[in-house]
């Protein structure tokens, strides 16, 4: 019979052998492992330094491009929209810098900005209660005999589409011929405002628009959460489509960070929305704000929607070229302009 001391000695011998093996192994491999790790670390440090330098260079290039666009703004925009009246329609989450920049570019182009229609988050709420409230408000405010735009209907946003058609009729018209009287337009906007679906900011800081506009720019804000992005984007696109049909031209613009995946502009240029609209996805930059005005001019001349900006398929994103003079040939930017998806 094997006694307990034999077991104890055997166990101690096994652990001692393991310890010796670990010590010898770690000592033998330590140099090679450290050398490999040091090389990997040095490589990653070099890559990071190169990326940082490249990022710094890109920032400088963007700043230079922005400065150039600001310096050339007068020459690029002067007279493009003379005689036109443009209304800004703002989605929730728009930033003042983008909105003010677009308004300044439109004014530089000769347009009169009639004011801002600021949509609330409640306007885009597709819950049962909110939908019923918006639908009943729209029916109550719809003027008798108003001819509605011939756009499709989506059950998911039926109330938003009805309200959008009425709002479009109130704020824009074609060829300077108002579809509604000033009193009717004001009554519609006041009614939706009192129901907390929108807010009016006049060009002079008042609470009313300076008459009906002939063109419109819809400005998107931040990208919505995945749960609500679908119906939100459909409603915003539908509103832009109604404004486009009821006016000389309308487009959808937004900042770079707000026009990526799950955004309304992405839905348009990817074809998911099933609607062709002019879009500008870098309206928070000087170049993008200039392109907004130039794109409206392009709609006046050709009425063909197109994507502009920095995201595919708008890359490369030329600005719409000005009408060519008899002695000038079409610019490369005009020849390479892509059509909307």
- Same-domain pairing of 140 and 59: no
The structural domain count of the chain equals 2
> Rounded to 5 degrees, what are φ and ψ at 280?
-130, 115
- Same-domain pairing of 44 and 89: no
Q: Note whether residue 211 is domain-resident.
A: yes
Residue 149 near residue 246, CB atoms below 8 Å: yes
Over residues 111-123, the pLDDT tens digits come to: 999 999 999 999 9
- Same-domain pairing of 2 and 93: no
Structure-block tokens of residue 191: 């009614």
In sequence order, what are the residues at sequence separation of 6 or more whose Cβ sits closer than 8 angstroms to the Cβ of residue 187? 141
Please choose, from the candidates 205, 6, 167, the residue with its C-alpha nearest in 3D space to the C-alpha of residue 89.
167
Give the Cα-Cα-Cα angle 46, 49, 55 (nearest 5 degrees): 140
Q: Which pLDDT score is estimated for 63?
A: 67
Q: Note whether residue 277 is domain-resident.
A: yes
Q: Which pLDDT score is estimated for 193?
A: 97
Please count the other Cβ atoms lying within 10 Å of the Cβ belonging to residue 257: 12
**Which residue, of 77, 107, 122, is where some domain finishes?**
77
Q: Is 179 exposed, middle or buried (0-12, 13-18, 19+ CB in 10 A)?
A: middle
- Same-domain pairing of 137 and 8: no
Q: Is 175 exposed, middle or buried (0-12, 13-18, 19+ CB in 10 A)?
A: exposed
- Same-domain pairing of 56 and 125: no
Q: Note whether residue 283 is domain-resident.
A: yes
Q: Which pLDDT score is estimated for 150?
A: 54
- Same-domain pairing of 203 and 270: yes
Dihedral of alpha carbons 184, 185, 190, 191, sign: positive
Q: Which pLDDT score is estimated for 40?
A: 80
Please choose, from the candidates 201, 237, 228, the residue with its C-alpha nearest in 3D space to the C-alpha of residue 118.
201
Q: Note whether residue 316 is domain-resident.
A: yes
Q: Note whether residue 128 is domain-resident.
A: yes
- Same-domain pairing of 29 and 128: no
- Same-domain pairing of 184 and 270: yes
**Which residue, of 77, 92, 125, is where some domain finishes?**
77
Look up the domain containing 6 and give its range. Answer: 1-77
Longest alpha-carbon distance in the chain: 115
- Residue ranges in the chain whose pLDDT is less than 70: 1-7, 9, 22-33, 59, 61-63, 65-66, 68-72, 147-153, 314-341
Strands 198-202, 307-308: pairing is unpaired
- Same-domain pairing of 322 and 292: yes
Over residues 199-225, the pLDDT tens digits come to: 999 977 788 999 999 999 999 999 999
Give the Cα-Cα-Cα angle 285, 287, 199 (nearest 5 degrees): 55
User: What is the rounded distance in angstroms from the CA atom of residue 285 to the CA atom of residue 254?
Assistant: 10
3-state secondary structure at position 88? strand
Q: Which pLDDT score is estimated for 335?
A: 35
User: What is the rounded distance in angstroms from the CA atom of residue 277 to the CA atom of residue 252?
Assistant: 7
Residue 213 near residue 171, CB atoms below 8 Å: yes
Q: Note whether residue 219 is domain-resident.
A: yes
Structure-block tokens of residue 218: 């819809």
Q: Note whether residue 340 is domain-resident.
A: no
How many DSSP H helices and E strands does the chain contain?
9, 7
- Same-domain pairing of 140 and 243: yes
Q: Which pLDDT score is estimated for 323?
A: 46
Q: Note whether residue 61 is domain-resident.
A: yes
- Same-domain pairing of 40 and 1: yes
Please choose, from the candidates 265, 263, 243, the residue with its C-alpha nearest in 3D space to the C-alpha of residue 309.
265
């Amino acid at each position: 019979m094997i006694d307990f001391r034999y077991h104890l000695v055997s166990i101690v011998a096994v652990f001692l052998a393991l310890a010796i093996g670990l010590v010898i192994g770690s000592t033998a491999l330590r140099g090679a492992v450290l050398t490999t790790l040091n090389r990997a670390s040095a490589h990653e440090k070099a890559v990071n330094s190169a990326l940082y330098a490249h990022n710094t260079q890109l920032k400088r290039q963007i700043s230079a491009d922005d400065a150039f666009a600001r310096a050339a703004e007068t020459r690029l925009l002067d007279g493009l929209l003379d005689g036109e009246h443009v209304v800004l329609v703002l989605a929730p989450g728009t930033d003042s810098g983008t909105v003010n920049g677009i308004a300044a570019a439109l004014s530089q182009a000769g347009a009169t900005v009639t004011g801002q229609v600021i949509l609330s988050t409640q306007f885009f709420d597709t819950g049962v209660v909110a939908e019923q409230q918006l639908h009943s408000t729209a029916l109550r405010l719809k003027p008798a005999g108003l001819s509605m735009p011939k756009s499709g209907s989506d059950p998911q946003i039926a109330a938003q589409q009805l309200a959008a058609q009425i709002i479009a009729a109130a704020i824009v018209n074609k060829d300077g011929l108002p579809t509604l009287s000033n009193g009717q337009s004001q009554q519609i906007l006041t009614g939706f405002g009192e129901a907390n679906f929108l807010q009016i900011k006049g060009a002079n800081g008042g609470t009313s628009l300076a008459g009906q506009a002939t063109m419109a720019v819809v400005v998107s804000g931040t990208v919505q959460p995945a749960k609500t992005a679908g119906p939100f984007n459909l409603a915003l696109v539908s509103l832009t489509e109604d404004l486009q049909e009821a006016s000389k031209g309308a487009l959808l613009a937004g900042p770079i960070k707000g026009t990526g995946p799950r955004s309304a502009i992405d839905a348009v240029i990817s074809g998911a929305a099933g609607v062709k609209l002019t879009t500008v996805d870098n309206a928070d930059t000087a170049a993008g704000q200039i392109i907004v005005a130039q794109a409206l001019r392009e709609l006046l001349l050709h009425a063909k929607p197109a994507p502009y900006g920095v995201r595919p398929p708008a890359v490369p994103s030329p600005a719409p070229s000005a009408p060519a003079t008899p002695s000038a040939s079409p610019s490369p930017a005009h020849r390479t302009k892509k059509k909307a998806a």
